[in-house]
Amino acid sequence: MQSNLLTIRLHSADNVVVARADLSSGAVIPDEEVTRRGSIPFDHKIATSFIRAGYPVKKYGQIIGFASQDIPPGEHVHTHNLSVKEFTRDYAMGEE
């Protein structure tokens, strides 16, 4: 798990990090080489790579939803650009 003062990455497979404080627009997020695009509230998600519309958004190494529009790196990821739809789940994860 990578972390810094501004964000925390919960799993290496995630394409978002979580804001550890209210973040203002424009600053670079250390460890991610991403510039924030707009203000991000505490505990909200920030895209760390380009997420194409329809592609999965991953947090905790798991799919938490799908991009309802293209999401550029540094963009706030929340209900305005995230949707839920059916997909096959791997229930064997974490059996051990």
Could you state, in chain order, the average pLDDT of each consecutive group of 10 residues for the chain (96 residues)? 74 96 87 89 96 96 95 96 84 66
pLDDT of residue 85: 87
pLDDT of residue 11: 95
Query: Under 8 Å CB-to-CB from 15, ≥6 apart: which residues?
Result: 47, 48, 49, 51, 57, 58
- pTM of the shown model: 0.85
pLDDT of residue 96: 64
pLDDT of residue 27: 78
